[in-house]
Amino acid sequence: MNDEDKKKLIKECLSKGLLFSPELGQKSEEKENIFYFENTKKINLSIQENKESAEIENTEEFLNKDVEILTSYGEKWKKKTIKDFFNHYSSRFKTLSQMLRRREELKGATAIKRISLRNQNESVATIGMVKSKRITKNDHILLVIEDLTGETSVLISKNKNTKEEGKDKSLYEEAKDICLDEVIGVLGNKGESDIIFASGLVWPDLPRGMEFKKSPVEEYAVFIGDTHFGSKHFLHKEFNLFLNWITGKIGSPAQKEMAKKIKYLFLVGDLIEGAGIYPNQEDDLEVKDIYKQYEIFSSFLKKIPESISIIICPGNHDPVRVHEPQPPIPQEYAKDIYALKNTYFVSSPASVRIGKKDNFKGLDVLLYHGYSFPFYADSVESIRQVGGLERVDKILEYLLKRRHFAPQHGSTQFVPDYEEDSLIIKNIPDILVTGHIHRSTTTIYKNITLLNCSCWIGQTEYQEKRGLKPQPAKATVINLKTRETKILSFAK
Ligand SMILES: [Fe+2]
């Protein structure tokens, strides 16, 4: 089996989310052996004489080491029960509370059930998932939080509306932003019966002082999203300019020099416009057939040099389930793109490692299309006040602080398919890239590069109704050696 066939097989595996695939093994020309894949590893099995069992013989990495897929979720079909949802939320609670317990002030956090054993006015620290939140008639904030042992009330007094040194917001202002189902640490004093008068709140957040990793080699990664090919509003001219730049045909001498050093292109979902996504969408379609949409889009990607690895995650316009985690775009729809040697399909969310060298372990990029963002733009007061959807940077910071892409139940659709909640931001990336709301933003939060991608579609009536104000035809470029970020505009 040559390397090309192997690459094709691993793409099939990743698109189906297969961890074990006897069928793929049977395609092997190594007749006496069977193999299966786990992420980028090929596991060779030697078949035992009775042919009913197999032993792991060896494992080997064989995907292009320039792109290592760290996490990508496939589709698992299984009938869901209430127990799956219970397990989903309890595993989320356990993972996030473990993160919180690493914080100095929560090392001795007590289970909620044990708070009742404490004396009145005694100091307490605990961790809980927010069950309810309301404003009392005296304008205080009253939460009910729960863990696996019980529940308790937490009062955040409006008198805590003074900023402490080193804090951006007062405790009361921070508490106003709390959403349901997020997991927080509470510090305070026990009141009469089961209530805590809060003096501090702790979020899982990112630790301080994380390394701002830089590659020893000058290479570039380009990030785009929401191309929406197939729509009448697709920006043909602008996208062509982008392709002309990335293929080294146009640009200033410095931009051409940069283009030569591009090693990675990220496409963060909504590659095509799709069909049947919203009412009367057919009126907005230039290419009505979704197979044709991918076929034509593949002809654009074919122009990109093979030396550039293209990493693709799905969005809500691509033909995969909307429920998160969204599996990679299936091969049957995008077979011409799968056929390209330099494409990698992953889920949303997913994480990949790029730029690995002998003396550098590479940079981790977390991709998430961004379906939950409008909910937080509308419902979190501090984000709404500074511009809502126009401040994706604030939405990203809000979610990173909670270490979850959709902390409140209902803010996105999800499937509890995995043992652990796949929307938890468990491993901290160096770069977080998102899209969906068609606005171009870059910022640094605690040494993480946060970026939201522009789009390649003009404003449709539907988007206008949803309050989307696009900033189209921009590509974000990161120099992996300096971590400097540039936004290049191809707008006409
Ligand atoms: Fe989208």
- Whether residues 283 and 164 share a domain: the answer is no
CB contact at 8 A, 266 and 220: no
Residues with Cβ within 5 Å of ion ligand 1? 270, 315-316, 436
- Whether residues 301 and 269 share a domain: the answer is yes
What confidence score (pLDDT) does residue 268 get?
98
pLDDT band of 161, cuts 50, 70, 90: confident
Q: Is the pLDDT of residue 18 over 70?
A: no
Residue of 15 and 130 predicted with greater confidence: 130
Contacts of 20 (CB under 8 A, 6+ apart): 36
Q: How far apart are CA 80 and CA 417, in angstroms?
A: 8
- Centre of ligand 1 to C-alpha 314, Å, is 9
- Whether residues 286 and 426 share a domain: the answer is yes
- Whether residues 312 and 454 share a domain: the answer is yes
Domain count, the chain: 3
Over the stretch 205-234, which tens digit does the pLDDT of each residue have?
999 889 999 999 999 999 999 999 999 999
* 210 inside domain: no
* 228 inside domain: yes
pLDDT band of 63, cuts 50, 70, 90: very low
Q: Is the pLDDT of residue 183 over 60?
A: yes
- Centre of ligand 1 to C-alpha 452, Å, is 12
Over the stretch 282-311, which tens digit does the pLDDT of each residue have?
888 899 999 999 999 999 999 999 999 999
CATH of the domain at 178: 2.40.50.140
Q: How far apart are CA 174 and CA 397, in angstroms?
A: 13
What confidence score (pLDDT) does residue 419 get?
77
- Centre of ligand 1 to C-alpha 371, Å, is 6
Span 239-268, average pLDDT: 96
- Whether residues 132 and 58 share a domain: the answer is no
- Whether residues 195 and 282 share a domain: the answer is no
- Whether residues 435 and 286 share a domain: the answer is yes
- Centre of ligand 1 to C-alpha 315, Å, is 5
- Centre of ligand 1 to C-alpha 261, Å, is 29
Q: How far apart are CA 445 and CA 394, in angstroms?
A: 10
- Centre of ligand 1 to C-alpha 372, Å, is 10
* 82 inside domain: no
- Centre of ligand 1 to C-alpha 246, Å, is 24
What confidence score (pLDDT) does residue 154 get?
98
What confidence score (pLDDT) does residue 283 get?
85
Q: How far apart are CA 40 and CA 28, in angstroms?
A: 17
- Centre of ligand 1 to C-alpha 269, Å, is 7
Identity of residue 99: M
Angle at 413 between CA 412 and CA 415, to 5 degrees: 135
- Centre of ligand 1 to C-alpha 360, Å, is 34
Over the stretch 78-120, which tens digit does the pLDDT of each residue have?
788 888 888 899 999 999 999 999 999 999 999 999 999 999 9
pTM: 0.87
Q: Is the pLDDT of residue 443 over 90?
A: yes
* 472 inside domain: yes
Bridge partners of 152, per DSSP, are 145
User: Domain limits at 171?
Assistant: 103-202
- Centre of ligand 1 to C-alpha 384, Å, is 20
- Centre of ligand 1 to C-alpha 435, Å, is 7
- Centre of ligand 1 to C-alpha 124, Å, is 43
Q: State the chain's mean pLDDT as an integer.
A: 88
Span 356-368, average pLDDT: 94
CATH of the domain at 360: 3.60.21.50
- Centre of ligand 1 to C-alpha 103, Å, is 35
- Centre of ligand 1 to C-alpha 318, Å, is 9
- Centre of ligand 1 to C-alpha 25, Å, is 36
Bridge partners of 474, per DSSP, are 489
* 88 inside domain: no
For residue 160, CA distances in Å to 190, 195, 198, 301, 398 come to 17, 17, 9, 55, 21
* 86 inside domain: no
- Whether residues 183 and 245 share a domain: the answer is no
* 208 inside domain: no
* 83 inside domain: no
What confidence score (pLDDT) does residue 465 get?
78
Spell out the SS3 assignment of 383-438: HHHHCHHHCHHHHHHHHHHHCECCCCCCCCCECCCCCCCCCECCCCCCEEEECCCC
